[in-house]
Structure 1
Amino acid sequence: MEMTDRTRRTLGLLTAAGALPYLTLKAIWLAGGTIGVRDAPFLADPSVVVLNTVTVLLDAILVALALALTRPFGARLPAWMLLLPIWVGTGFLLPMVVAILPVAALGSLSDATGPLEPWVQPLVYGGFAWQGVGLALAFVSYAVRRWGAVITRGGTVAAPLRPLLRVLVGGGAAAAGLSGLLHVVAGIASGSGSAVLVDVANALFAAAGALGVARLAGGATEHRFASAVAGWVGTGAMFAWGLWSAVLTMAGTALAHPDPISGPAALAGLLGGFALAVAGLVALAGAQQPVAAEPARA
């Protein structure tokens, strides 16, 4: 995915601009304002204050990542400094594009009451979706420039790594399958069309992550970049949303909604996403280009 320097810089600025509505709203809330809030005590809950502070910091990190991916200084940063936060960030944001934002937009048209005004969620999730698309495009361009040869290189991993890879792929795929199944069951059990849409999307992300990594681990040479993208997005979505659910529940926040089906689905996604992501890295970094056969001598 080739971009000119000017296009990359523009993309970085536009992606960063997507954070402005969210950061502005959260700044107002943290300063004591109640714009967009129907239930002031909800906003004053200590767990909500902490979450608002943490998410502001996370969104600021996302702005820094968008600039790092599209500016020259980003090419000099060590890989570990970029890969983990971008993986979690794209995994958290891209599901909002395909499911959460449409559900929030439809919900804003209803008369349902809650702690927030109907326009807040579409505004917030719209900004997140904007950032998710921009960050994904910027990262694809960055990855092609920096690691394109590694991603597209075919061949199986070195023999010493194969047992580890089989365990990671097998265990991760099993956890992803369980997570996807439980998400579908949770959506159907809820009786809500919106919940079904979100949970089916979660199941599809889990399937994409497992299939993408399995193809990479199997040494597939065709459509390898597409497999890497599917593995990246799918594992990131499982891990990020599983981690978010675990944090909300374990911390006993006001946003936690413990559920005997959704909880295990999120936990399985957290574990499966992590295992498959490690497997994907092993498959890419450890791949050995097949040696071409020598031409027959006369």
Structure 2
Amino acid sequence: MNPTRFRLAVCYATIAACVPYLTLKIAWLAGSTVGWNDLEAAKDSTLYVGNAITMGMDAIAVVVALAFTYPWGRRIPAWIVAAPIWIATGLLAPIVLGVPFGVLLQFLSGQAQQSGQGGEGLQGWVYAVVYTGFTLQGLGLLTAFVFYARDRWGRLFRLRTADLPNGPGLAIQRFLTLGAIAPAAVYASVHLYWAFGGESETVTQHTVDAVWGLLSLAGVAGLLALVRRAKRPGPVWIPLTAAWTGAGATFAWSFYMGLVTLAKPAAFDTHTSAAEAMTMVCGVFAGLIMAVAGTLFLRETMGGRARATGQIASPMASSTP
């Protein structure tokens, strides 16, 4: 089936939103210092590696948007599609949810705009271009993914928690979910503390910290609802969305910030406190544990026999829909 005009519009709007970021990265890799205040910092060799990696990530977003839109994308093995969109959801969801609202609150509060004074040597317009692009990418990719998921795994959207099978893997899913609570609680607590004035310098950063903390808690809550079979059964996709997004955000940002800290490019102020290091480690572990529990849940659910709906074929278990 050919994609609808709306899906095509979403796809190419998402690709267009990637262009400014890709253009900046290509320019910097070519030696340009456009957008930099600190010209010496712009030439730091470590930044070339970081720019190449992040440019590659944005290029993958273009391919993923196309795969979500055209029929050939449904023939790709499920894990190849799921892995990058899970990471993308984790990286982009806090920006989509936190940055626009945070910027609005910062404007209303009368706080001087400090986005261009973050100690990274970049001019203010770079932040505006990059984060506007990220927000549009996030909205576009997530919209395209919803259409794709409904096409490929539509039965999952019709399932209710009362229909879920109590298979042999349920015990390990519950064990992993319980194991994720402690590191997720630490991660969320620290970010919520920062959100209310502990560390962050701007209202926007306060808001994003709050979103990080709340998403981590939402991830655990979503998994608990899935593996404990809520007494008031509802659609599976609601807690599954919370678990997917919360786990992705907790893992992806913790892992990314850990890499930035280890790289320690001269252009960045990477002095890391013990609390920050602990938070990153807790986030990586919490996100990974939630991801494993969620993967086991999906494999068993989509491959098992639901009590109310009968046999459900498993598109996740094969490389074809």
Q: Could you tell me the TM-score, scaled by structure 2's length?
A: 0.83
Which of 165, 172, 176 is the matching residue for 2:173?
165
Structure 1 residue 134 and structure 2 residue 140: aligned? yes
For 1:139-288, list aligned pairs within 5 A: 139-153=145-159, 154=161, 155-187=163-195, 188-190=197-199, 192-194=201-203, 195-220=205-230, 221-254=233-266, 255=268, 256-287=270-301, 288=305
CA distance in 1 between counterparts of 2:124 and 2:308 reads 60
Which structure 1 segments of 5+ residues have no match? 293-298
SS in 1 for 2:153: helix
Tell me if the contact between 2:33 and 2:39 (Cα under 8 Å) persists in the aligned partners.
yes
Structure 1 pair 191–95 and aligned structure 2 pair: CA distance change class (3 A) = closer
CA distance in 2 between counterparts of 1:145 and 1:198 reads 32
Q: Tell me by how many angstroms 1:148 deviates.
A: 2.2
Q: Tell me by how many angstroms 1:282 deviates.
A: 1.9
Tell me if the contact between 2:95 and 2:208 (Cα under 8 Å) persists in the aligned partners.
no
Structure 1 pair 133–191 and aligned structure 2 pair: CA distance change class (3 A) = closer
SS in 2 for 1:189: coil
Tell me if the contact between 1:158 and 1:286 (Cα under 8 Å) persists in the aligned partners.
no
> In the TM superposition, what whole-angstrom CA distance separates every residue of 1:248-278 from its partner, at most 9, and x where no partner exists?
1223334334122222222212111111122
Q: Which residue of 2 aligns with 1:30?
A: 29
Equivalent residues, number: 290
Q: Which residue of 2 aligns with 1:44?
A: 43
One-letter amino acid of the structure 2 residue matched with residue 148 of structure 1: G
Tell me if the contact between 1:185 and 1:261 (Cα under 8 Å) persists in the aligned partners.
no
Q: Tell me by how many angstroms 1:174 deviates.
A: 2.1
SS in 1 for 2:264: coil
Q: Tell me by how many angstroms 1:243 deviates.
A: 0.8
Q: Which residue of 2 aligns with 1:296?
A: none
CA distance in 2 between counterparts of 1:291 and 1:191 reads 49
One-letter amino acid of the structure 2 residue matched with residue 252 of structure 1: K
RMSD, matched Cα: 2.3
> In the TM superposition, what whole-angstrom CA distance separates every residue of 1:71-116 from its partner, at most 9, and x where no partner exists?
1110111101100110001110111112245557858834847401
Tell me if the contact between 1:173 and 1:276 (Cα under 8 Å) persists in the aligned partners.
no
> In the TM superposition, what whole-angstrom CA distance separates every residue of 1:122-177 from its partner, at most 9, and x where no partner exists?
11011011101110111111111111213543444544212211221001122211
Tell me if the contact between 2:156 and 2:237 (Cα under 8 Å) persists in the aligned partners.
no
Which of 128, 131, 134 is the matching residue for 1:125?
131
CA distance in 1 between counterparts of 2:200 and 2:39 reads 30
Tell me if the contact between 2:92 and 2:134 (Cα under 8 Å) persists in the aligned partners.
yes
CA distance in 2 between counterparts of 1:151 and 1:235 reads 20
Q: Could you tell me the TM-score, scaled by structure 1's length?
A: 0.89
Mean Cα deviation higher: 275-284 or 126-135: 275-284
Mean Cα deviation higher: 114-123 or 257-266: 257-266
% identical equivalent positions: 33
> In the TM superposition, what whole-angstrom CA distance separates every residue of 1:11-43 from its partner, at most 9, and x where no partner exists?
111111111111111111111111111001111
CA distance in 2 between counterparts of 1:240 and 1:229 reads 16
Tell me if the contact between 1:184 and 1:200 (Cα under 8 Å) persists in the aligned partners.
yes
Mean Cα deviation higher: 149-158 or 21-30: 149-158
Q: Which residue of 1 aligns with 2:314?
A: none
Mean Cα deviation higher: 11-20 or 270-279: 270-279
Tell me if the contact between 1:186 and 1:262 (Cα under 8 Å) persists in the aligned partners.
no
CA distance in 2 between counterparts of 1:116 and 1:258 reads 21
Structure 1 pair 246–104 and aligned structure 2 pair: CA distance change class (3 A) = farther
